Chain A
Amino acid sequence: AQKVTQAQTEISVVEKEDVTLDCVYETRDTTYYLFWYKQPPSGELVFLIRRNSFDEQNEISGRYSWNFQKSTSSFNFTITASQVVDSAVYFCALSEGGGVASGGSNYKLTFGKGTLLTVNP
């Protein structure tokens, strides 16, 4: 069964600090997708990034970067020079590719429990 662990329940930083949110996953499938979503205080859920299991290239988008390492089953998210607007709950999620190892469950998406990031001015 697939599993996503976000060990950091809450993180508090001061503006302009860099912060890394950890995500560790478990899957028996060789084909899978990893996602990060953001939930600001207003409550909506916003997609940030998707990574497939065959693409281990790290990605940078402005102040955001993602480090995908299959060797450690991790997909960590770093915010550089954090800002107050980054305050939110961040969720990591895993979707398996529907192969035999996943029992054919093509469409189940498992979320971690989320990390509450508070950026203080």
Chain B
Amino acid sequence: EAQVTQNPRYLITVTGKKLTVTCSQNMNHEYMSWYRQDPGLGLRQIYYSMNVEVTDKGDVPEGYKVSRKEKRNFPLILESPSPNQTSLYFCASSLAGYNSPLHFGNGTRLTVT
């Protein structure tokens, strides 16, 4: 089954404790991206990647890192999480970037205390 898999679904952590949210897709998609969803703010892009080793900042990249060492994986790294990063995170992939529909993962709800 074609899908984007995010893990974990729920994560509670403390300020400053490094964490990684994994994202993997099995559709051989070129493009992958991370979004955060906050009430009243909609979905905002954090980082995106057009291909292996090619990443770029979205609208809200501060406090996040990403890497794209393999085509199928695009982990989101929070080196030192803070409470303002408490949010619902979505990973997404698409065949070719801006002109292709996104396939989303099921989301990761992160709480930073």
Task: Give residues in A with beta carbon < 8 Å to B.
Answer: 6, 33, 35, 37, 43-47, 50, 52, 91, 93, 95-98, 106-114
Can you name 23 A-B pairs with beta carbons within 8 Å? A33-B98, A33-B99, A35-B102, A37-B102, A43-B88, A44-B107, A45-B90, A45-B104, A46-B104, A47-B102, A50-B99, A50-B101, A93-B43, A107-B31, A107-B33, A107-B56, A107-B98, A109-B98, A109-B102, A111-B42, A111-B43, A111-B44, A114-B42
**Chain B positions 40-58 with a Cβ under 8 Å from a chain A Cβ:** 40-45, 48, 50, 56, 58
B73 within 8 Å of A by Cβ? no
Using CB atoms, name the residue of chain A closest to B99. Answer: A33
- Closest Cβ–Cβ distance, residue A20 to chain B (whole Å): 19
Contacts of A91 in B (CB 8 A): 42-43
Q: How far is the CA of A110 from the CA of B42 in the complex (A)?
A: 10
Closest 6 CB pairs of A and B: A113-B42, A95-B98, A45-B104, A111-B43, A47-B101, A107-B97
